[in-house]
Amino acid sequence: MAPGIAHGSANADRETVDANDRLRVPPDHPHYTLRRLWLTKEEEDGYYLGFANEGIWPLCHIAHTRPLFRAGDWEQYQRVNEKFAEAVLLEIEQAEEPFVLIQDYHFALLPRLIKSKRPDARVAIFWHIPWPNPEAFAICPWQMEILDGLLGADLVSFHIQAHCNNFLNTVDQSLECRIERDRFTVNRTTTFTFGSPASDQRGPARIDGGFRRYFGTEPLEHPGATGDGNPFPGRRRGSHGLHKGIVERFRAIESFLDKCPRLSGAIHVCPIRVPQPDEYQALSGFCYRSGIRGGAHQPASANWQLETDSPF
């Protein structure tokens, strides 16, 4: 039964693991083992909130907010990727030719770190956000390290073909390599990396498309997953932050309510991660200065609500 590794933070995460920081999921009918990895506040601030969410996320989305790249955040990003690599290598120590699936832009360095120690491992990474054009990605001071880390994988998968094409163009302009565009392959001397969109068909992109074609196996589906997984109809879940286009989303809500005034007061925006006091103050202040009516800053005129006591 293949293990999974994920960052643990809340008190409940620590209360539910065993002495080796592992738990069986789901508890009533276990399908796999989850290994929790603990990060310090400095690591979480630098690696996750800093480099990943204030740097890579707006860079790849070409958001209106300029991406922030700080040397200290990059150091934490490297450290946490190394930390996860050590955990993965420990979990696959006894496995022969193991399969490793890595999730998202938080772990761009992880494929190379794993492959350098376990060249027999078959490594795939799914990039859950867009990949920008080469000129935009060149803004990142550590673009070469990120590309080298990703190309440690045997398969790099994206949502759509355009993102895959942008990635290949970025690699082609940045690194010494040969691109085989008919196969979507990067050839660096003796190593090959396949780039793939998640689905060749129209409709919602699925993470298992390229994974199934390359590895010839089915990914494990959570037995309780149905629809979009939102158990609260009428509410919208989503990550928040000034760097993630949250103000534009608020303006979209305002525009929608202007056209459908009968729904005024019925909209709730529930952030998955509750804002820290300084974040919420900055967010509310920005809404006030921008003339956005929702939120806690103008309760008398608000026609929708930003909830900080989120059920998620």
Provide the pLDDT confidence category of residue 6 given band limits of 50, 70 and 90.
confident
Provide the pLDDT confidence category of residue 100 given band limits of 50, 70 and 90.
very high
Over range 214-219, report the average pLDDT.
45
Q: What integer pLDDT is reported at residue 29 of this predicted model?
A: 83
Over range 211-218, report the average pLDDT.
46
Whether 218 shows a pLDDT value over 50: the answer reads no
Q: What integer pLDDT is reported at residue 192 of this predicted model?
A: 59
Q: What integer pLDDT is reported at residue 163 of this predicted model?
A: 94
Give the separation between CA 312 and CA 217, rounded to whole angstroms: 32
Whether 90 shows a pLDDT value over 70: the answer reads yes
Over range 147-167, report the average pLDDT.
94
Q: What integer pLDDT is reported at residue 196 of this predicted model?
A: 65
Do the strands 185-188 and 191-197 form a parallel or antiparallel pair, or are they unpaired?
Answer: antiparallel
Best-predicted range by mean pLDDT (19-23, 157-161, 192-196, 242-246): 157-161
Q: What integer pLDDT is reported at residue 232 of this predicted model?
A: 35
H/E stretch holding 286: helix 277-290
Over range 107-120, report the average pLDDT.
96
Provide the pLDDT confidence category of residue 129 given band limits of 50, 70 and 90.
very high
In Å, what is the CA distance from 283 to each residue of 252, 294, 296?
16, 11, 10
- On average, the pLDDT of the chain sits at 75
Give the separation between CA 242 and CA 246, rounded to whole angstroms: 6
Counting Cα atoms < 13 Å in the Cβ hemisphere of 212 gives 11
Residue, of 25 and 202, whose pLDDT is higher: 25
Whether 105 shows a pLDDT value over 50: the answer reads yes
Give the separation between CA 281 and CA 299, rounded to whole angstroms: 15
Over range 73-97, report the average pLDDT.
95
Name the residue among 75, 141, 84 with its Cα closest to residue 113.
84
Q: What integer pLDDT is reported at residue 305 of this predicted model?
A: 53
Give the separation between CA 151 and CA 256, rounded to whole angstroms: 43
Provide the pLDDT confidence category of residue 271 given band limits of 50, 70 and 90.
low
What percentage of residues in the chain have a pLDDT greater than 70? Answer: 64
Q: What integer pLDDT is reported at residue 246 of this predicted model?
A: 64
Report pLDDT digits (tens) over 231-245.
333 444 444 454 556
Residue, of 259 and 278, whose pLDDT is higher: 259
Best-predicted range by mean pLDDT (21-30, 46-55, 277-286): 46-55
Whether 157 shows a pLDDT value over 60: the answer reads yes
Q: How many helices (H) and strands (E) does the chain have?
A: 11, 12
Q: Are 6 and 37 in contact (CB under 8 A)?
A: yes
H/E stretch holding 61: helix 57-61
| 3-class SS of residue 241 | coil
